[in-house]
């Protein structure tokens, strides 16, 4: 299975690291994760997820938004690239991969609506982890 992770930009520390690790381990235990796909952020839950994937020898693929090249559409275009990659990278011939979108939602999550919309249009399961309630 390929998973896309996003959100949780303003989180750090052991408490959030444990939430991210617990979430990903739960997924990986039931359906092994082949590739973790993310925005390439150097902070927050995405970074913690990428750390977890490396420790567990899971391939990662990052798609940074190209603001200079695509302007205000860069986030939307990046989201579509992540979805396309997740669905088709190493897919069975003529088919699609089992794919999931995991949103690590925090109070600063303003950029997740677009990827949720795109994921639902592509019939991708969306799992939202509310970091605020998980941390309390």
Residue 113 pLDDT: 85
Sheet with 59-62, side-by-side order of all strands: 59-62, 35-38, 2-7, 99-105, 125-130
Give residues with Cβ within 8 angstroms of 35, minimum separation 6: 2, 3, 58, 59, 60, 61, 86, 89, 90
Q: Which pLDDT belongs to residue 33?
A: 96
Question: Could you give all domains of the chain from N- to C-terminal order, each with its CATH number?
Answer: 2-135 (3.40.50.450)
Question: Residue 112: what pLDDT?
Answer: 81
**How do strand 99-105 and strand 2-7 relate by DSSP bridges?**
parallel
Please give the pLDDT value at position 43.
86
- Phi and psi torsions of 94, nearest 5°: 80, 5
- pLDDT, averaged per 10 consecutive residues of the chain (136 residues), comes to 88 85 96 94 90 97 78 82 91 81 79 88 94 71
């Amino acid at each position: 299975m390929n998973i896309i992770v996003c959100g949780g930009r303003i989180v750090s520390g052991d408490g959030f690291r444990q939430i991210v690790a617990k979430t990903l381990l739960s997924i990986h235990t039931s359906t092994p994760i082949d590739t973790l796909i993310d925005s390439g952020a150097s902070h927050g839950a995405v970074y913690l997820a990428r750390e977890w994937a490396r420790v567990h020898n899971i391939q990662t693929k990052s798609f940074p938004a190209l603001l200079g090249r695509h302007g205000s559409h860069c986030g939307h275009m990046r989201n579509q690239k992540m979805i396309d990659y997740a669905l088709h990278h190493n897919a069975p011939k003529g088919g699609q991969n089992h794919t999931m979108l995991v949103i690590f939602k925090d109070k600063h999550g303003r950029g997740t609506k677009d990827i949720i919309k795109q994921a639902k249009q592509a019939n991708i399961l969306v799992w939202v982890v509310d970091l605020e309630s998980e941390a309390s």
